[in-house]
Amino acid sequence: MTHVSVTVDDGHLAALDGVVQGLRARGMQVDQVLDALGIITGSAPDGALGALTTVAGVASVDEQLVHRLPPPGAPVQ
Amino acid sequence: MDDPRRPAVPEAGLPGGGALTTGRRVVVFGDAPGGDQQVDWARAGVRDVADSRDFTDGDVPPETLRGAGATVFAALGIAVVAADDGQLRALAAASSRPVLSVSPELVHQALDPEPGYVLGYRDGVADLTGRLLAPGGPATEPAARFADTPEATWGIQAVRADVSPYSGRGVRIAVLDTGMDLAHPDFAGRTVTARSFVAGEDAQDGHGHGTHCIGTACGPRTPAGGPRYGVAPEADIFAGKVLGNGGSGTDAGILAGINWAVTSGCPVISMSLGADVMTVHPPYSAAGRRALQQGSLIVAAAGNNADRRSGDPGFVGTPANSVEILAVGAVDQALEMAYFSARSLPGRGGQVDVAGPGWEVFSAWPLPDRYRTISGTSMATPHVAGLAALWAEATGRRGLELWATLCQESERLLLASVDAGSGLGVAPGEAVPATRGAA
């Protein structure tokens, strides 16, 4: 499974539910629907990422990045 | 009556370098409280008034400008007037519109390089080559311009928060980081809304980074245990925990935090986080754009992946490399680039937009330490976020207008724009006109 962020295009911001259904139908486990941003996060089987991009209203599917701070004692943060 | 914010300009073309003036005055009107925008020119004895509204497309021909007693530019609320001081006083007294300023009309010229400029340039180049070729090279360390005092940290002084009449009162600042030490005595009595987007952790800061950043953006005016270190001491604090106590987090939590901040009506979102990834990450571009549309400005750290001591300028990583997110670089007490501060990427989006104090920054830290001094573009970012709150309070501007104001008002530095953007962010001073832009 890969954690992904799905960015919805401007034309589907008012119809996020339909996009969510399409993503679920193609194997995505949806964790959050961020309605103010038009972004849907969750996870999907490694082979299913290409299929997610074919859902109507999807602008991009991106693997989630990990952001890491230095340890608290580091002089440069 | 002359504009007190500007030094007096010598009248009518004095020799010896004074600016050339025409003898006419430029009068700036404010908005009349009752909406009656009429100016009683006759009462002041000014005749032949030309109004731009009487000309096609508001385009006043130059011969009219030359001959008229007054030329009114209605769309600008400005008039050029041939009148003496007594007439101008009568005008101010008789007018329903307040007169904001009266200044001599200057003669402007195309900027040809003068011989003096060219000679100065030649001397400068000669001096520079002399110093570069001298034994030992250009090595002299620049003298520190700012230092921490018992009253305020060097960063608070550098961004002029200590002399600004604004405090961020009523403006919500979201800091998306490792949370906040909710028991820190410096924040007792403050409006704090804390929320965790990290599974299995509450909003309490188990790292320190988040408390430090919140301190810089929103710390109190007079902390009991040291100098002032907070830019916007009366802002409302929205502490979103998107990085765990171990210091790491994923896009899901960060995007959820942005969504929360936007729907909570925070005009400023501070994100001292990033990944050393050159490619623009589409979710942050969409989030930044949609946040701006809803009146929230995302301010993010340019990144610490440079090592300028060994000639590596680094690059702006994600999310700060999204064109829709304001990227902040770090300067030191001499207003020179901090060695770790990342440089703009070529191409669209990856640029540093503005710089803030990010070297040896004193701020809050979770108890029992209470305070700590650390460095990073992470520390520069909340300085700029706090400044954004001050400008939001002072001007009412939001979103892209607020972004433009920060950059427009920043102090230009003798640094490369790829490193420092438009310069050092600074606080609004006394004389901010109360213009309110569209949301």
pLDDT in tens, B142-156: 667 999 999 999 999
3-state DSSP assignment of residue B239: strand
Within-domain flag for B165: yes
Residues B252 and B350 in one domain: yes
The answer to whether B119 and B112 are in contact (CB under 8 A) is no
- Give the pLDDT of residue B316: 97
DSSP class of residue B71 equals E
Nearest Cα neighbor of B385 from B325, B301, B299 is B299
Q: How far is the C-alpha of B254 from the C-alpha of B273, rounded, in Å? A: 9
> B98 and B188 share a domain?
no
In a domain, B238, yes or no: yes
**Dihedral angle, C-alpha B16, B20, B23, B26, nearest 10 °:** -130
The whole-angstrom separation of Cα B258 and Cα B197 is: 10
- Looking at chain A, how many residues does it have? 77
More confident residue, B433 or B304: B304
User: In this structure, are B364 and B224 located in the same domain?
Assistant: yes
Residue of B nearest to A41 (CA): B252
pLDDT for the residue B18 = 58
Q: Please indicate, yes or no, whether residues B208 and B59 belong to a single structural domain of this protein.
A: no
Together in a domain, B101 and B176: no
Whole-number percent of chain B with pLDDT over 90: 63
- Summarised one tens digit per residue, pLDDT across range B393-439 is 999 999 999 999 999 999 999 999 999 999 999 999 976 665 544 43
Count Cβ atoms below 10 Å from residue B377 Cβ, excluding itself: 33
B131, part of any domain: no
- Averaged confidence pLDDT in chain A: 96
Residue B135 falls inside a structural domain: no
Which band of pLDDT confidence, cut at 50, 70 and 90, is reported for residue B9? very low
The answer, yes or no, to whether residue A14 has pLDDT greater than 90, is yes
Both structure tokens of B132: 């570069």
Considering only CB atoms, B255 lies closest to which of A41, A66, A70, namely: A41
Q: How many CA atoms does the CB half-sphere of A28 hold within 13 Å?
A: 29
Judge: A35–B259 Cβ closer than 8 Å, yes or no: yes
B379 reaches A (C-beta below 8 A): yes
CB contact under 8 A, A59 and B282: yes
Query: Could you tell me if B329 and B421 are in contact, meaning their C-beta atoms sit under 8 angstroms apart?
Result: yes
Q: Are B355 and B421 in contact (CB under 8 A)?
A: yes
Six-digit token string for B203: 């909003």
Q: Does B212 fall in a domain?
A: yes
Residues B264, B179: one domain?
Answer: yes
Catalytic residue among B209, B272, B353, B422: B209
Residue A14's region, left for phi above 0, alpha for psi from -120 to 50, else beta, is alpha
Quick one: tokens of A40? 């849907």
| Across B224-234, average pLDDT | 96
Same domain, B27 and B167: no
Say if residue B116's pLDDT is above 80.
Answer: no
DSSP label of B158: H
Q: Taking Cα atoms as reference points, which of B17, B26, B7 lies closest to residue B105?
A: B26
Task: Give the CATH number, domain containing residue B214.
Answer: 3.40.50.200
Tell whether B202 and B77 lie within a shared domain: no
Structure token pair of residue B351: 């640029």
Same domain, B262 and B404: yes
Tell me, yes or no, whether B236 and B316 share the same domain: yes
Total domains in the fold of chain B: 2
User: What type of residue sits at position B49?
Assistant: V
Asked whether B35 and B50 are in contact (CB, 8 A), the reply is no
Say if B45 falls within a structural domain: yes
Distance separating alpha carbons of residues B323 and B253, to the nearest angstrom: 21
A11-20, A41-50, B105-114, B175-184, range with the lowest pLDDT: B105-114
In a domain, B6, yes or no: no
Sheet of strand A29-34, all strands in order from the earlier edge strand to the far edge: A29-34, A39-44, A2-8, A58-63
Whether B145 contacts B373, CB under 8 Å: no
Record: contact A36-B282, CB cut-off 8 A: no
- Closest-CA residue of chain B to A74: B374
Query: Could you tell me the domains of chain A?
Result: 2-63 (3.30.70.80)
Candidate list B177, B186, B236, B419, residue with the active-site label: B177
* B62 and B168 housed in the same domain: no
Q: Is residue B229 part of a domain?
A: yes
Name which residue leads in pLDDT, B420 or B129.
B420
B279 close to A (CB below 8 A):
no
d(CA B336, CA B355): 10
Average of pLDDT values for B4-30? 59
- Report pLDDT for B31: 76
Contact of B305 with chain A, judged by CB distance below 8 Å, is answered with: no
Can B209 be counted among the known catalytic residues? yes
B376/A76 Cβ within 8 A: yes
Give the distance from residue B230's alpha carbon to the nearest chain A alpha carbon, in angstroms. Answer: 18
- By the CB < 8 Å criterion, does B289 face chain A? no
Task: For residue A66, give the chain B residue with the closest CA.
Answer: B250
Calculate how close chain B gets to A20, using CA atoms only, in Å: 16
> Is it the case that residue B115 has pLDDT exceeding 70?
no
Note whether B283 contacts A38, CB cutoff 8 Å: no
Distance from CA of A16 to the nearest CA of B (A): 15
Q: Is cis: bond before B368, omega within 30 of 0? A: yes
Distance of residue B26 Cα from the nearest chain A Cα, in angstroms: 46
Residue B162 annotated to the active site: no
Of residues B257, B418, B417, B266, the one with CA closest to residue B345? B418
What mean pLDDT is predicted for residues B50-57?
79
Residue B433: per-residue pLDDT: 60
Suggest the residue from B214, B255, B361 to mutate for an interface test with chain A (most A CBs closer than 10 A).
B255
B243 and B169, same domain (yes or no): yes
pLDDT of residue B52: 80
The ipTM is 0.91
Which residues of chain A have a CB within 8 Å of the CB of B243? 67, 69
Active site residue B108: no
**By residue range, what is the domain housing residue B386?**
154-420
Average pLDDT score, chain B: 87
Query: Residue A67 and residue B275: Cβ atoms within 8 Å?
Result: yes
In chain B, residues with a C-beta closer than 8 Å to the C-beta of A35 are 259
pLDDT for the residue B135: 54
**Which is more confidently placed, A43 or B432?**
A43
pLDDT of residue B159: 98
Residue B438's pLDDT is 40
The whole-number pLDDT of residue B108 equals 75
Does position B368 have pLDDT exceeding 80, yes or no? yes
- Tell me: the pLDDT tens digits for B263-302? 999 999 999 999 999 999 999 999 999 999 999 999 999 9
**B291 chain-A contacts, CB cut-off 8 A:** 36-37
Q: Do A38 and B247 touch (CB under 8 A)?
A: no
Question: Of B262, B318, B375, which is closest to A75 when you measure between CB atoms?
Answer: B375
